[in-house]
Amino acid sequence: MLFIAPWDIGLELELGQGNPVKSLFVGPEGFSLGYFISRILPNIYVIAGVILFFLLIGGGLMFIISSGQQNPEGASKGMQAVTAALLGFLIIFASYWIMQIIQFITGINLGFNLGL
């Protein structure tokens, strides 16, 4: 079994006077940017998933109904909606994994667990 230990680059790099970069994300009263992002991102992903669902259903229905009525304009709009929904899904999927990589490299908890 291969185990990769995360390297906390946030503690390794220094800003000056021995302060690690990770200390930049901790503000007064313990507020941290990582905590803020970890609370917002899961909600954004849920909202994006709901929007994706409705775009796929709406675009698919528009495509099917317009094709049945011999309306090439409507079918084209339906196909564009489905294509936009799938492209949006790919962007959201990629952003999730980019956030996983950022969390792994910096050691900042963004609310996503890699399981390593």
20 forms bridges with which residues in the sheet? 14
Kindly state the tokens that stand for 15.
Answer: 């800003």
How confident is the model at residue 16, as a pLDDT?
67
Separation CA 57–CA 55 (nearest Å): 6
Q: What is the pLDDT along the chain (116 residues), one digit of tens a residue?
A: 455 656 666 666 676 677 766 665 555 556 566 666 666 777 888 899 899 999 999 999 999 999 888 888 999 999 999 999 999 999 989 988 888 888 788 777 666 554 44
